[in-house]
Amino acid sequence: MDIKNIDLDKSEEFYFKANKALWNVKTPIHVKSEFYENDAFLNGKSSLTEVENEFLPEVKGKRLIHLQCHFGQDTISLERMGAHCTGIDFSNIAIEHAQKTAMELNLSTKFYESNVYDVLDLNLGKFDIVFTSYGVLSWLPDLKNGLT
């Protein structure tokens, strides 16, 4: 969906479509931006911050699902730490980039395109750790009736 051609119906579906279109536009910009340091990341630098590293439990050998994973840097960083990771994002452009990166790095990280509210429909089984990072909750229109 092109941002300029979104139906102006202000339903929840409108917001999901508009938000997905926004992230499909942002992803290629983020991949190339200095903020994400993608070249350093591809050469082994972890994208996880000091705070995430401090508060995450031991991930080695654990099945971990990363919700709203964007283009997969944190998911792949967790895979590099020994977790068996699955990343979820609703941006098809972000997921395509994440899958390509995992393949280039010869990692088994799995990525799926899905709205976070629909992730249970993917039937991915059980996970030891559900991970999401800072900045993602503000994009969700309904925290009360989200995943249960």
For position 85, which CATH number holds? Answer: 3.40.50.150
In a domain? residue 44: yes
By residue range, what is the domain housing residue 103?
8-134
In a domain? residue 125: yes
Tell me the average pLDDT across 128-138.
82
Output the DSSP codes for 39-67. Answer: HHHHTT-----HHHHHHS---TT-EEEEE
In a domain? residue 3: no
CB-based contact 131:48 (threshold 8 Å): no
- Tally the domains of the chain: 1
In a domain? residue 2: no
In a domain? residue 144: no
What is the percentage of the chain residues whose pLDDT exceeds 90?
A: 72
Tens of pLDDT, residues 30-68:
999 999 999 999 999 999 999 999 999 999 999 999 999
Token pair 């991949």 is found at 31
Tens of pLDDT, residues 81-109:
999 999 999 999 999 999 999 999 999 99
What pTM, to 2 d.p., does this model score?
0.85
Tens of pLDDT, residues 4-22:
555 545 677 888 888 899 9
Q: Which of 90, 110, 114, 112 is nearest to 27 (CA)?
A: 90
In a domain? residue 148: no
Residue 128 has pLDDT above 60, yes or no: yes
In a domain? residue 142: no
